[in-house]
Amino acid sequence: MYKDIDITEINKGLDLFEGDIKMTRRRRSIRSEQHRWPLPVPYYLDRSLDMNAKGVILRAFEQFRLKTCIDFRPRRWGEQHVAIKKDTGCWSHVGKEEWKQDLAIGPNCGTVANVEHELMHALGFWHEQSRYDRDNYITINLENIEAGKEHNFKIRTTDTNTPYDYFSVMHYSKNAFTNGNGPTIITKLPEFQNVIGQRLDMSHYDVEELNKFYGCNKSISFLDHCSFDDESLCEMSVCSRRSRGWRKVSHTAAGPHSDHTYLGTGSQGTGFFMHFSTKRGSVGDSARLQTRRMTPRRSCKIQCLEFFYYHSGSWSDQLNIWIREFDGVDDIIGTRRLTSQIKGSPTDYWQLHHVPLDATKTFQVEFEARKGAGASRGGFSVDDINLSETECPHHTWQIRNLEEKLKASNTTPILYSPMYYSYDGYRYQIRVILEKDKLEVFVSLVSGRNDDALQWPCHWRQVTFTLLDQNPHIQRRMSKQRSVTSTSLWLNSDISPLRHQSDLPCPSMKGKTFSVSPLQQTDDDGPCTRKRRSISTARRIWSRPVTRLR
């Protein structure tokens, strides 16, 4: 993993407007319709680009699709497009200007946030600190600006329609163009001094302003989110077989003691989650929690279900994840198949779980909780469901009490992940070295069961590490991503098609088999909506506040 370098530092010595803007002719700072691109935005990945940069660019496109109404597609012959190439530095034009409009992703520029920053320029956006109202929020220290660079801090735009955004991916950092005597930008609110210039991801207001400018607001790949905090229950329905079923609660005696949405915010007890108790009843008692029906929109028929669960029941209790697909509006039963299963030893914390799906027609997801044998103190709880038309992470490593590990050790802590297998059979492990001011991450191949049948060496594989933001809503997260690509060693996803083209084939999904216990209880009763029940909100059964570290 390499050290973050500010774009103004990467581009030092280049003759660029405001540090990373290529100006071909004089133009007004006000955004206009003529500077908007048609959607989807046509693009071309030039052969000069590093393979790792190509993979990162496609990941940036996916972030735009997840968060905004902006989509991208490979250009057709003869049409106006954004030509993304390798050059010295990272830079772009502002808005649609030329038939073949260059955008540069050079050395040290290959991060999702840097690519987003330059694409935002190409889509018509200037830097956040150039807004007409910026003096109400920041102070420019002219005496600390490098000689000859003062023009980079002039006010440019007058047509903003969102609040000033310290979190914007388009904001300069506090030390942009500094002469070494201190910061060039001071925030009027001190708590944001180390926030400005973040290069994690687009902020909420970046997304809002982008959607407003392009006159659309529907995400390309996002499908649904549910935190169970409103009365509508996100249009979900419940039904049960000989049990009390799923209940909407704020806490349970055996855990969890608060919902996941507000965990760690100081607002424990204010939110809700869904809980299925296995303390009483008979083996095989079950209940289902079903999402609304959704129809895939993208050409690649791949989806990702993400949710948090808490298992406080018996080792033999099950949480089964089904997908039900419908053949048309007249099909009220559909066909369901099992896609994931959670069972085993209970834990005392919320866990993140991903389920890759491959629905090709209208579908809904069913969370079926099933009581097993043995004593139970609690059951299964579910919260913060996200569903999108994107590829799931291949593996998730949840490291608990990270701050405590840093404080408790007199030496540099080194953590090792479980052993993982890639989709095509390579076995590997992640190593993390924790230091006070940085994090080092390594991936190592280890001997596995498929070694004799695998290709060695295996070129052009990319591994992406994501330090996940704790915001429960997938569209609001600002996570840190870093990618590396192999040349003569294996790493992860095969991106070799990018040597000769500008996009990748659809992701594939490995099939799995599961056993549902007891076997005689697997009959499909059809969707819950045919016998809908109201959701009961449990009385408060635990009042002592509990503070828990994540």
CB-CB contact of 36 with 169 (8 Å) = no
Joined together, the tokens standing for residue 107 give 């050395």
Strands 41-45, 81-85: pairing is parallel
Sequence-ordered list of residues with C-beta below 8 angstroms from that of 213, at least 6 positions apart, any chain: 31, 36, 123, 124, 125
Distance in angstroms (rounded) separating the CA atoms of residues 57 and 116: 8
Distance in angstroms (rounded) separating the CA atoms of residues 380 and 368: 10
CB-CB contact of 546 with 250 (8 Å) = no
Report the DSSP beta bridge partners of residue 501: none
Taking 3-state DSSP, the helix, strand and coil percentages for the chain, each rounded to the nearest 5, stand at 15, 25, 60
Distance in angstroms (rounded) separating the CA atoms of residues 356 and 334: 20
Q: Hey, what amino acid is at 122?
A: A
| Nearest Cα residue to 65 out of 57, 54, 53, 77 | 57
CB-CB contact of 360 with 335 (8 Å) = no
Distance in angstroms (rounded) separating the CA atoms of residues 200 and 60: 11
Sign of the Cα pseudo-torsion (51, 57, 63, 65, in order): negative
Distance in angstroms (rounded) separating the CA atoms of residues 151 and 36: 26
Instruction: Check residue 175 and report its DSSP letter.
Output: T
Instruction: State yes or no: is 118 an active-site residue.
Output: yes
275 marked ligand binding residue: no
Render 229-250 in DSSP notation, one character per residue: -STTGGG-EEEEESS--EEEES
Joined together, the tokens standing for residue 105 give 């992703």
260 marked ligand binding residue: no
127 marked ligand binding residue: yes
CB-CB contact of 101 with 118 (8 Å) = no
CB-CB contact of 223 with 294 (8 Å) = yes
Distance in angstroms (rounded) separating the CA atoms of residues 510 and 516: 19
Q: Check whether the bond before 518 is cis (ω within 30° of 0).
A: yes
Distance in angstroms (rounded) separating the CA atoms of residues 306 and 516: 21
Instruction: Check residue 254 and report its DSSP letter.
Output: T
**Catalytically annotated residue among 116, 118, 208, 389:** 118
SS3 491: coil
Please give the annotated binding residues for Zn(2+), written as ranges: 117, 121, 127
Task: Tell me the catalytic residues.
Answer: 118
